[in-house]
Amino acid sequence: MDQDGAGAADGIVHRARRVLPAGTFGNFPGEVVIRAGRGGRVWDETGKEYVDFLLGSGPMLVGHAHPEVTAAAQARIAEGTTFFANNRWGIELAEEIVRAVACAEQVRFVSSGSEADLYAMRAARAFRKRDKILKFEGGYHGMSDYSLMSLAPRQPGNFPRPIPDSAGIPRAVRDDVLVAPFNDLDSVAGLVRAHRDELAAVIVEPLQRIIPPRPGFLAGLRRITAENGVLLIFDEVVTGFRLAYGGARNITVSFPICARWAR
Ligand SMILES: Cc1ncc(COP(=O)(O)O)c(C=O)c1O
């Protein structure tokens, strides 16, 4: 990198600090400013090359600037960008998702995983006419008030009471969230039975961050929730179409991969 390159890169870090909270878009340090990516590699403003383990925090499944994806996006964008109305491509995508995901009957498109989880929990509460949601400590379901509970609590193990992960969440929301330890079926069973008349749903990441489900855990959740008339929400924002085409659900029904993960 030459002197000019270093100066320009340094300048953009300072500009970011002025206009972005903590100088960063999100969780990644603002000192690295990416200019371009191709496949599994990215380059920063100074020209330094990285192997990209972030991959956009998930969505870049086939890497950056894949020629087929780029060509398809360019072709579509030339026809208009967003219509707030049904369109052929969205309908065809919904058809493909329903084909691929064994339990999917219909698709609602939203802009983010946070919204998807928020709407799923709201739909469960509306359908069951109950207010409480059970989640797992360490499970991430986006940035809504209901989701930001006991993701990374300072005092872990405060079951079943949730600890908010952010200021600004109304106290009343805590009363409607129960927290259980991941992979502990007995604890979940006890909580679900004790709260069955007020519990709308259990929400779970089939692979919680990097923690694989113990063999039998997900099947046990399915059984316990079904027996008690509580809905089960699989949050596949990360796992859908990444662990398997059609989602983690497609591999967890037969469990061979979960068994291998757990060793
Ligand atoms: C399992 C899970 N659910 C929900 C979300 C929230 O998605 P988004 O960042 O699109 O709001 C994430 C984001 O990483 C996630 O990993």
For 16-30, the pLDDT digits (tens) are: 999 999 999 988 889
For 83-129, the pLDDT digits (tens) are: 999 999 999 999 999 999 988 999 999 999 999 999 999 999 999 99
**Which residue has its alpha carbon closest to ligand 1 atom 3?**
141
Distance 71 CA to ligand 1 centre (A): 27
Element (H, E) at 43: strand 41-44
Q: Could you give the CA distance from residue 260 to residue 64 in angstroms, rounded to a whole number?
A: 30
**What residue ranges in 69-219 does DSSP mark as E strands?**
132-136, 177-180, 199-204
Q: Could you give the CA distance from residue 121 to residue 250 in angstroms, rounded to a whole number?
A: 22
Distance 142 CA to ligand 1 centre (A): 5
Residue 259: predicted pLDDT: 38
Residue 119: predicted pLDDT: 98
In this prediction, residue 7 has a pLDDT band, given cuts at 50, 70 and 90, of low
Q: Does the beta carbon of 112 sit less than 6 angstroms from any atom of ligand 1?
A: yes
Residue 16: predicted pLDDT: 95
Give the ligand 1 atom nearest the CA of 111.
10
Radius of gyration of the chain (CA): 21
Distance 240 CA to ligand 1 centre (A): 11
For 121-165, the pLDDT digits (tens) are: 999 999 999 999 999 999 999 999 999 999 999 999 999 999 999
Distance 227 CA to ligand 1 centre (A): 29
The arithmetic mean of pLDDT across residues 29-41, rounded, is 96
Instruction: Name the average pLDDT for the chain.
Output: 91
Residue 124: predicted pLDDT: 98
pLDDT > 70 in the chain, percent = 91
The arithmetic mean of pLDDT across residues 214-227, rounded, is 94
Distance 158 CA to ligand 1 centre (A): 24
Q: Which residues, in sequence order, are CB contacts of 17 under 8 Å at separation 6+?
A: 23, 30
- In order of start, what are the domains of the chain with their CATH numbers? 3-67 (3.90.1150.10), 111-262 (3.40.640.10)
Q: Does the beta carbon of 142 sit less than 6 angstroms from any atom of ligand 1?
A: yes
Ligand 1, from 112, 118, 140, 205: best to mutate by most atoms within 8 Å of Cβ?
140
In this prediction, residue 31 has a pLDDT band, given cuts at 50, 70 and 90, of very high
In this prediction, residue 241 has a pLDDT band, given cuts at 50, 70 and 90, of confident
Q: With a cut of 70, say whether residue 12 has pLDDT above it.
A: yes
Distance 113 CA to ligand 1 centre (A): 4
Under a CB-based contact definition with an 8 Å cutoff, are residues 99 and 241 in contact?
no
Residue 10: predicted pLDDT: 66
Q: Does the beta carbon of 113 sit less than 6 angstroms from any atom of ligand 1?
A: yes
pLDDT > 90 in the chain, percent = 78
Give the ligand 1 atom nearest the CA of 58.
14
Give the ligand 1 atom nearest the CA of 205.
1
Q: Does the beta carbon of 238 sit less than 6 angstroms from any atom of ligand 1?
A: yes
Q: With a cut of 50, say whether residue 262 has pLDDT above it.
A: no
Ligand 1, from 110, 235, 237, 243: best to mutate by most atoms within 8 Å of Cβ?
237
